[in-house]
Chain A
Amino acid sequence: GAVVSQHPSWVICKSGTSVKIECRSLDFQATTMFWYRQFPKQSLMLMATSNEGSKATYEQGVEKDKFLINHASLTLSTLTVTSAHPEDSSFYICSARGLGSGKNIQYFGAGTRLSVL
């Protein structure tokens, strides 16, 4: 089945620094990837849709200058949390849309736990 790899799985950073999270589709090309955020004991919240070769589409209330998304190739999307603060501490999860017979299925990465001190 389709595999989505996310790196790093866990990161701790100081307040004010920027953190980059990578999302790769390992065995398929993904023109569209998605970024979610999940706070403890809550459901996943869609942050943005990442389109290869074009600007990301952000959900209402998500600051595009705070959460920079780059989708430079068909297998890689990155999320950069700029000037991170403790309130940005969360579980960030990416997903990629499948191709062919699985094109209506999203495959998820294992997630990145961000802790901002």
Chain B
Amino acid sequence: DAKTTQPPSMDCAEGRAANLPCNHSTISGNEYVYWYRQIHSQGPQYIIHGLKNNETNEMASLIITEDRKSSTLILPHATLRDTAVYYCIVRSPNTGNQFYFGTGTSLTVIP
């Protein structure tokens, strides 16, 4: 599976959009991009995933660049409850189901 690079930490003002970047320059054609978040002392929560098209659900939007080498998770109106560690994972469904977590981005939403 392709490796990912994320900034270790970010701050965002409450009510503003939080844009979390992820670099996956070695991604291959059949690998999906997944985003999870982990609030302190809880299990990870699924947010969104995509292959090459931008995706949106009730939680967030996922923007994948045309060359698929990077992506951005957008939380449109961050709240204090969005404070968490956000993980970007790249995985191919053809090589097993394992998820390998990197170090993620610790997002702090500031009042």
Query: From residue 17 to 38 of chain B, which have CB atoms closer than 8 A to chain A?
Result: 32, 34, 36, 38
Is A107's beta carbon under 8 Å from chain B? yes
Determine if B97 and A46 form an interchain contact, defined as CB atoms under 8 angstroms apart. Answer: no
Determine if B100 and A46 form an interchain contact, defined as CB atoms under 8 angstroms apart. Answer: yes
- Choose among B34, B43, B93, B99 the residue that contacts A46 (Cβ–Cβ < 8 A): B99
Given the contacts A43-B87, A46-B98, A104 and B41 also touching, CB distance less than 8 Å: no
Chain B interface, DSSP helix/strand/loop, else mixed: loop
Determine if B46 and A107 form an interchain contact, defined as CB atoms under 8 angstroms apart. Answer: yes
User: What are 11 sample pairs from A and B whose C-beta atoms fall under 8 A apart?
Assistant: A43-B104, A91-B41, A95-B43, A105-B46, A106-B46, A107-B46, A108-B45, A108-B46, A109-B43, A111-B42, A113-B41
Q: How far is the CB of B78 from chain A (nearest CB, A)?
A: 22
Determine if A49 and B96 form an interchain contact, defined as CB atoms under 8 angstroms apart. Answer: yes
Given the contacts A32-B97, A49-B96, A97-B97, A108 and B44 also touching, CB distance less than 8 Å: yes
Query: From residue 11 to 42 of chain A, which have CB atoms closer than 8 A to chain B?
Result: 32, 34, 36
Is B68's beta carbon under 8 Å from chain A? no
- Bound-state Cα–Cα, A95 to B46, Å: 11
Is A110's beta carbon under 8 Å from chain B? yes
Given the contacts A34-B98, A49-B98, A43 and B103 also touching, CB distance less than 8 Å: yes
User: Looking at B38, B44, B102, which has the most chain A CB atoms within 10 Å of its CB?
Assistant: B44
Taking CB as reference atom, which chain A residue is nearest B99? A106
Q: How far is the CB of A60 from chain B (nearest CB, A)?
A: 12
Determine if A49 and B43 form an interchain contact, defined as CB atoms under 8 angstroms apart. Answer: no
- Bound-state Cα–Cα, A36 to B42, Å: 13
Taking CB as reference atom, which chain A residue is nearest B93? A104
Determine if A44 and B49 form an interchain contact, defined as CB atoms under 8 angstroms apart. Answer: no
Determine if A110 and B97 form an interchain contact, defined as CB atoms under 8 angstroms apart. Answer: no
Q: How far is the CB of B46 from chain A (nearest CB, A)?
A: 5
- Bound-state Cα–Cα, A46 to B97, Å: 12
- Bound-state Cα–Cα, A64 to B36, Å: 28
